[in-house]
Amino acid sequence: MKKLLAIALSIGLSLSLSLPLALGLCFTGGLSAQADSITEAELSEITAQWKPSAHALADVNCSSCHQANETKAFVEKPNYESCQNCHEAETDTFLLGKHGIRLLEGQSPLTPSKARLPMKPEAHGKQMNCNACHNVHSVDTYQASVDSCLTCHNDEHSLNYKNSKHSQLFLAEGNLERPSSSSVTCSTCHLQRESLDSGDNVLVNHNNTYNLKPRDRMASEVCMNCHGMEYSFNSIFDNELVNSNFSEPPKIHLKSFDMIRVLQKKREG
């Protein structure tokens, strides 16, 4: 079975070839643990997810992820190293954040059970890897922008997102192929976009720790993309407002801005 599968993978399982058919050819005969775990219905679902995906359009097929580069052996469950072959910057930044740092240090993947924030009990055993947030076959970034986060996070700030003004803007766009640049989702603020070259290429910084602390980094690099400086800083340092996921204008007033205005008047005078 493994030899047949290797042959199928070596020819790349071309875009015109049905995935269930291709894998079905490999799984006939002596069934292994891999074959036993995959049904024809599941293969059909994988095909349906993959065909309209960005991967399919870019000729990224089964062998691109399920075949080891050096040995050409079948890889049943590819890890972040498979994604890194194409998404180097995204993977490198992921490994620097809380979600991926354990992998960078050669440890077992992070699970929500180790988190300090409240996490949903049913997600406690989920391993943080690329496929924890991304459906690996549909590559649906719309799902990854909010729903994937709420699969694990059970803290007040996260749960209040769907009642926030930001969420209303996101939902008003409808279910697009992917969130637009004007969408405000969990990933918009915690996995910020960075323009490369002339701005045509956009990198998503997957280091989810980068702008958490100090808070003024979040204000300057995220909030101020849409809001003014004073509004952004008053908001990000309002603990109650953060917990409510910015459901209303800030109630606190940082005196630093009053001092700046006084100084400005003195300089002008």
Structure tokens at 45: 């679902």
Q: What digits encode the pLDDT tens for the residues 71-88?
A: 888 888 899 999 998 999
| Apex 21 CA angle, 20 and 27, nearest 5 | 80
Q: What digits encode the pLDDT tens for the residues 233-247?
A: 999 999 999 999 999
Which contacts of 196-203 are long-range, i.e. CB under 8 A and separated by 24 or more positions?
203/89, 203/90, 203/93
How much helix, strand and coil, in percent to the nearest 5, is found in the chain?
50, 5, 45
Amino acid at 250: P
Amino acid at 211: N
- Tell me the β-bridge partners of 194: 203
Work out the pLDDT band at 203, boundaries 50, 70, 90. Answer: confident
Using the 8-state DSSP alphabet, how is residue 113 labeled? G
CA torsion sign for 198, 204, 206, 211 is: positive
Distance CA 78, CA 74 (A): 10
Structural domain spans, the chain: 2-78, 84-210
Q: What digits encode the pLDDT tens for the residues 140-186?
A: 888 899 999 999 999 999 999 998 999 998 888 766 666 666 789 99
Question: pTM here?
Answer: 0.79
Q: What digits encode the pLDDT tens for the residues 11-56?
A: 344 433 444 434 433 433 333 344 456 788 998 999 999 999 989 9
